[in-house]
Amino acid sequence: MLLWFTYEVGRYTRAIPGITVDFLKNADVKHPRPLQVLIWWAHMLPWTFPVFSNGNGILTSPCPPIGANVCHVTTDRGSINTSDAVVFAAESADLADLPPYRRQSQAWVFFAEGPHQWTPSQDLSQTVPIFNWTMAFREDSDIVVPYKAWKPIFGIPNVSKRVATFRAKARTAVWMISECEKQKLEISGNSSVAGSPWSGTERFINIVLDRIDVDIIFDCGRHLCASRHECLNLLKDEYCFVFVMESSPCFEHPAQFIYDSFYYDIIPVLFGVGDFKHPLPPQTFIDTSKLEDPSDAVDALRKTGFSPRAYVNFMTQRQDSVHMLAVNSMCALCNALYAPPEKPLHKDSLLWWRNRSDCSVHRRTVV
């Protein structure tokens, strides 16, 4: 299942003098041709999804779940006046390299593939009103790009090897936290659940830390490892579980860390504030956001952490799934262009991008 947000953006005035834009959509409009998406800064975007050429550019294959939505994707800047949406890679943002005009009803999309780690050469704050949608792996973006997809297969589990791996683990759980999460942890201390600075079901973390053996690694583990895969490879032999906080700035989206963990003998445990709907194989991770009481989270960890059979069941579920890249990273945008409009989540796309480094930012659940 692909997840996305769609929105109507009203009248905006560009910071560039004399130019105004009306971005008005009608949900009942019939489209006689495939809608067109122009990739403005193409060199930063992934072109790994299945497509087929029509001679003039690229047509995305029909996008699920609707199946009939087809978009023409091009990098030809000469088509700026005929495109229904223009995608700008946040990492390549350049004030001097923006289109000089935009036609009526054209959507401009701010696509952030990764976290904000770059200082623009020019002040882009004046361009904020021109972007209608944010697009990213993040669930708080207007258009959510799926990180990966999966399909079931069936294999023969090596139970004895899994049990031996489980028995060799010396520690229960590990949690790599960011600086702002560390500050929250220090503030909360041994406070009650009601007084915890953690929002929503993330308050479970206080109870879990009190009742479960958890090692904490600061600064997102940067002093130990240079990538998610390197960190997981380092931790897999020692720990049964790795904690994943939904709002953590240690990764762009929790699905990244959860999917990556499937390559290693370690079980991810998600702590979050809502219904996590990113497509993931069932029974391959522990989702505490669906639990009503922190004691249930503790019980779930103990049940698996003390049981070779339960641990092997998690590993077997992974073996029975094939993990692959998302079918088409442009499908989320394509579907959004065809869907009825709603209001945007973020008036300031740059502020939204930069604020991901602050784990206190409210996360809106995809529906």
Tens of pLDDT, residue by residue over 4-56, are 222 222 222 222 322 334 443 433 445 667 899 998 876 555 544 445 555 55
Phi, psi of 364 (to 5 degrees): -95, 135
Q: How much is the pLDDT for 246?
A: 80
Question: Domain residue spans in the chain?
Answer: 12-145+327-357, 149-325
Between CA 138 and CA 127 the distance in angstroms is 22
Q: What is the pLDDT of residues 238-289, one digit of tens each?
A: 999 999 988 787 887 788 889 899 889 999 999 876 656 677 888 889 988 8
Q: What whole-number distance in Å separates Cα of residue 145 and Cα of residue 2?
A: 8
Backbone angles phi, psi at 308, to 5 degrees: -55, -40
Q: What is the pLDDT of residue 43?
A: 58
Using one digit for the tens of pLDDT, what is the confidence trace for 143-160?
888 877 777 777 677 788
Q: Are the CB atoms for 20 and 13 separated by under 8 Å?
A: yes
Q: What are phi and psi of 37, to 5 degrees?
A: -115, 125
DSSP string, 15-58: SSTT-EE-----TT---SS-EEEEESSGGGS---S-EEE-SSSE
What is the model's pTM? 0.71
- State how far the Cα of 136 lies from the Cα of 353, in Å rounded to an integer: 10
149-325 sits in which CATH class? alpha beta
The one-letter amino acid at 306: F
CA distance 3 to 292: 25
Q: Which of 84, 152, 93, 160 has the alpha carbon at shortest distance from 126?
A: 93
The average pLDDT across 323-348 equals: 77
- DSSP letter for 207, please: H
DSSP 201: G
Question: Can you point out the beta strands (E) in the chain?
Answer: 12-13, 20-21, 35-39, 51-53, 58-60, 71-74, 85-89, 107-112, 133-136, 143-144, 148-152, 171-176, 214-217, 239-245, 267-271, 286-287, 321-325
Do the Cβ atoms of 44 and 90 come closer than 8 Å?
Answer: no
